[in-house]
């Protein structure tokens, strides 16, 4: 049965990947998908969310194809009302607490949003999507956005595939793993039409400057220390955010209901090597002295339980659905640095709230 995909509820649409997803789907990204329907953005606007990131979308599509609803995914009555108000037929569930360091310092919010919040969304969908005979409709879709971190940590070799057993090791990844299991359980128990995707590290515009790449870019521009955890040899697999979103859209349109797809960059970097590459780019674009920036590198105490290596095998997605990455790391990092260089207002805005207070309390000024 063909999916409707006409009234799409995007949860967490004011956060990094969600903002980029909405811009992409409404034609403001660098590739233009063929989407004619509506987007309903449900976001609690936590420290990580910024509705102003979608000002141009609001201006062009507000009240016709774009709608913003401020609220918590864990609020059953509110989510139910949003489902009814907009006749939601599709959910893309990005909303989460997403930063590993914060989950180590304060895990509770991660359990509330990532586990209980996902449960609430699933349960509202299960009730809202019943047909007149009480059967769950199959022309709808609940797409759950997850992470490669649920698979644990790799040694020097090997890759995560869709059948790698879960082995989460931080409160963040444990909460994401729990949400993945709930999504699968709603498929098996209630026949809810779900799809799950697990992606590697994203980077690009609008990423909150608590994550490695934007934090380092801003600290370089502000002559602040560049804090490298442990020996700097942990490895991540990086993907430009627009490529993640084109994969999600491909899966939503053509993926098989009930399946799980890995999404990755096939682009592994040791943190310290990535940092050195980034220093070269920032120096070139900002006119700062490369050696002066390099002298800011500061090795600091390791993150507790720091996963050593992540690497995604995304061959299922490539072979079955024909997706591929389109933005090279050099190109993507260049675009990202350009964006942070020219969006000072956004940076000041997002840093001004609760987050800065949290950073200062836990790390001292960075
Ligand atoms: P983010 O932290 O930048 O944004 C999260 C958004 O969710 C914010 O706008 C926030 O206000 C909203 N939110 C948080 N709690 C909420 C709640 N209870 N109710 C409603 N809204 C709430 O996160 P991101 O980096 O954009 O990640 C989006 C999703 O992608 C997450 O599910 C994350 O686990 C997953 N993911 C991220 C990456 C990455 O590298 N960033 C990689 C793989 C998967
Ligand atoms: O200051 C830092 N210094 C440092 O060495 C920071 C913030 C990070 N790091 C290291 C830790 C990791 O090895 O850089 C690497 C990347 O760190 P993060 O940007 O915090 O990302 P990570 O922990 O890998 O998780 C990210 O990718 C998977 C996202 O935050 C998750 O939401 C996603 O699920």
What pLDDT digit, counting tens, does each position of 150-160 carry? 999 999 999 99
**DSSP characters over 288-347:** --HHHHHTTEEEEPPPTT---B--B--HHHHHHH-----S-HHHHHHHHHHHHHT-HHHH
Report the alpha-carbon distance of residue 66 to residue 38 in Å, rounded: 6
- The pLDDT value recorded for residue 349 is 87
CATH no. for residue 49? 3.40.50.720
In a domain, residue 271? The reply is no
- 148 counts as catalytic: yes
CA 146 – ligand 1 centroid, Å: 10
In a domain, residue 101? The reply is yes
| pTM of the predicted structure, to 2 decimals | 0.97
In a domain, residue 272? The reply is no
Convert the pLDDT of each residue in 250-263 to its tens digit: 999 999 999 999 99
Structural domain for 49, as ranges: 7-208+241-266+308-327
Convert the pLDDT of each residue in 32-79 to its tens digit: 898 999 999 999 999 999 999 999 999 999 999 999 999 999 999 999
Report the alpha-carbon distance of residue 144 to residue 52 in Å, rounded: 25
CA 212 – ligand 2 centroid, Å: 5
What is the three-state SS of 48-77? CCCHHHHHHHHHHHECCCEEEEECCCCCHH
- 35 counts as catalytic: no
- 149 counts as catalytic: yes
In a domain, residue 170? The reply is yes
In a domain, residue 219? The reply is no
> Helix, strand, coil shares of the chain as percentages rounded to 5?
45, 15, 35
In a domain, residue 193? The reply is yes
Report the alpha-carbon distance of residue 252 to residue 38 in Å, rounded: 15
3-class DSSP state for residue 30?
coil
In a domain, residue 351? The reply is no
Q: Could you count the other beta carbons within 10 Å of the beta carbon of residue 265? A: 26
- Return the DSSP state at 166: P
Q: Which ligand is nearest to the CA of 272?
A: 2
In a domain, residue 213? The reply is no
Nearest CA to ligand 2 atom 1: 227
When divided into structural domains, the chain yields a total of 1
Q: Which of 66, 172, 240, 340 is catalytic?
A: 172
């Amino acid at each position: 049965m063909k999916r409707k995909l006409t009234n799409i509820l995007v949860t967490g649409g004011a956060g990094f990947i969600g903002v980029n997803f909405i811009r992409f789907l409404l034609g403001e990204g660098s590739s233009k998908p063929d989407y004619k329907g509506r987007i309903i953005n449900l976001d609690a606007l936590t420290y990580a969310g910024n509705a102003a990131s979608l000002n141009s979308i609001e201006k062009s599509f507000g009240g016709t194809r774009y709608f913003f609803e401020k609220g918590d995914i864990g609020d059953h009555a509110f989510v139910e009302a949003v489902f009814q108000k907009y006749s939601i037929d599709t959910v893309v569930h990005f909303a989460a607490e997403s930063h590993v360091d914060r989950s180590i310092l304060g895990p509770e919010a991660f359990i509330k949003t990532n586990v209980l919040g996902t449960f609430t969304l699933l349960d509202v969908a299960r009730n809202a999507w019943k047909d007149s005979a009480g059967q769950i409709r199959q022309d709808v879709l609940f797409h759950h956005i997850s992470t490669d971190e649920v698979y644990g940590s790799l040694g020097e070799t090997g890759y995560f595939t869709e059948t790698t057993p879960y082995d989460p090791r931080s409160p963040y990844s444990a909460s994401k793993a729990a949400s993945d299991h709930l999504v699968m359980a709603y498929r098996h128990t209630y026949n809810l039409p779900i799809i799950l995707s697990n992606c590697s590290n994203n980077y690009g515009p609008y990423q909150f400057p608590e994550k490695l790449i934007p934090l380092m870019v801003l600290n370089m521009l502000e002559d602040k220390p560049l804090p490298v955890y442990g020996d700097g040899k942990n490895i991540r697999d990086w993907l430009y955010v627009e490529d993640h979103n084109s994969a999600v859209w491909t899966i939503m349109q053509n993926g098989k209901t009930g399946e799980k797809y890995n999404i990755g960059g096939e682009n592994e970097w040791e943190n310290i090597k990535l940092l050195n590459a980034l220093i070269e780019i920032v120096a070139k674009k900002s006119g700062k002295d490369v050696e002066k920036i390099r002298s800011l590198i500061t090795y600091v105490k390791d993150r507790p339980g720091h996963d050593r290596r992540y690497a995604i095998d995304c061959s299922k997605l490539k072979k079955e659905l024909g997706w591929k990455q389109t933005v090279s790391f050099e190109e993507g990092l260049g675009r990202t640095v350009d964006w942070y260089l020219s969006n000072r207002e956004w940076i000041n805005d997002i840093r001004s709230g609760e987050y800065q207070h949290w950073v200062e309390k836990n790390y001292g000024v960075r």
